Amino acid sequence: MGLPAVALSPKPVFDVDRFSTNLPTATGADEADIYYPVSSPNAPVDSLPVVLLLQGALVDKADYTNFASQVAQYGLAVIVSNHIRTAIDPVTGQAFTGFFPEQQQVHDVLAYATAANTNSASPLANRLNPNKLGLIGHSLGGAIGLSAIQDICFPFLCTGTFSRPPELMAGVFYGSTFRDPRFGGMIPPIENDGIPVALIAGDRDGVVGNFAAVEETYEQIQDPPKALIRVQGANHYGITNEDSLRDPVRPTLDQDMATETIARWSGLFLRASLLNDSGALDYIYHRGDGIDENVSVTSEVATVPEPTSLVGILAFGVLGTAWKLKCRQ
């Protein structure tokens, strides 16, 4: 059956439900919230792409409820977990335990989605397509997502080893750069192997330093398709339910508006990348910034894809910032 056609309007068409579960990991289990579209006579859904949201450092999964539910409205199953681990600052060697995502979560979520899809007792039974995985990352979570897409394993972004699964097909990251603090904050080339990547950031982000750092990260993404989306008036926490004083710069864009804007561009980018949705492709790469007065977009497309039958739908330095903030508490 598949997903129904989505109108050329950027508005989402699905109602969303959610449930909480314990998501098995290599070292135990993570508490997770899962948001998924609900079928109706006018909008039946199955074969949903799976989306893993990699949380920002020290940010609870509960802070993403508004954002995650809005992304799911675009026909995506969004998984947000609280991943607790001990991370080591690569510059100071300081150890700290808290909410810190890592690359292994990619494999953990794929294993969970595969099992849930065939489990008749799961709300997700026969709804998922575990062969299509997208990543969303906030802050540090974005750096981890960029590392996973490159099939590399930086010491404090992943533990042990990592091998990129073929199911990983796209990533969209908010408030993230790929600065390497071990080498003075330089941004190395990002070898994304043709996997679509979008960077979204607020122009009042006081955590990444300035928007130029996000632009530099975008420029280092080697292969299109790619997009850079600037949200005017949003700060580092425009993606969360409420603003946070961890960012010293206050937003000028209403929080609900910022969250909806980031969710819409995230959801449509993933639809464009995972489902080859012609309407989403058109919105992201051509007309979206002409419609949305709160954003400006730079993008590059390698080739014009064949449309489907669907018609129109942390920076590395943030880790150190999180440690400093925690130490003050």
CB 327 within 8 A of CB 96: no
Say which DSSP state 62 is in.
G
On the question of a cis peptide bond just before residue 225, with omega within 30 degrees of 0, the verdict is yes
Q: Model-level pTM?
A: 0.88
CB 38 within 8 A of CB 14: yes
- Strand, helix or coil for residue 211: helix
At 130, give phi and psi (nearest 5°): -65, -5
- Strand, helix or coil for residue 182: helix
CB 82 within 8 A of CB 54: no
CA–CA separation, 112 and 229 (whole Å)? 31
> Beta-carbon neighbour count of residue 157 at 10 Å?
25
Instruction: Compute the mean pLDDT over every residue in the chain, rounded to the nearest whole number.
Output: 88
Q: Is 93 left (phi over 0), alpha (psi -120 to 50) or beta?
A: left
- Could you write out the DSSP letters of every residue in 119-149? -TTSTTTTTEEEEEEEEEEETHHHHHHHHHH
Residue type, 326: K
11-15, 55-59, 120-124, 204-208: least confident range: 11-15
Q: What is the pLDDT at residue 181? A: 61
CATH number, domain 15-328? 3.40.50.1820
- Strand, helix or coil for residue 97: strand
CA–CA separation, 321 and 59 (whole Å)? 13
Q: Of the candidates 247, 253, 249, which has an alpha carbon nearest to the alpha carbon of residue 233? A: 253
Q: What is the pLDDT at residue 275? A: 95
The arrangement of strands across the sheet holding 15-25 comes to: 15-25, 28-38, 77-82, 48-54, 128-138, 168-174, 197-202, 226-231, 295-300
> Beta-carbon neighbour count of residue 44 at 10 Å?
13
The whole-number average pLDDT for the span 237-258 is 98
pLDDT tens column, 101-147: 999 999 999 999 999 999 999 999 999 999 999 999 999 999 999 99
CA–CA separation, 231 and 274 (whole Å)? 23
- Strand, helix or coil for residue 31: strand
CA–CA separation, 99 and 159 (whole Å)? 15
CA–CA separation, 240 and 255 (whole Å)? 8
Query: How far, in whole angstroms, is CA 222 from its chain's centroid?
Result: 19
pLDDT tens column, 151-201: 998 777 777 789 999 999 999 999 999 987 655 678 999 999 999 999 999
- Strand, helix or coil for residue 72: helix
CB 40 within 8 A of CB 47: no
3-7, 8-12, 58-62, 77-81: least confident range: 3-7
The whole-number average pLDDT for the span 248-277 is 97
CB 207 within 8 A of CB 246: yes
CA angle 71, 129, 135 (to 5 degrees): 45
Q: 303 falls in which pLDDT band (50, 70, 90)?
A: low
CA–CA separation, 266 and 199 (whole Å)? 9
Residue 323: is its pLDDT beyond 50? Answer: no
pLDDT tens column, 19-28: 999 999 988 9
The whole-number average pLDDT for the span 205-232 is 96
Whose structure tokens read 């792409």? Answer: 49
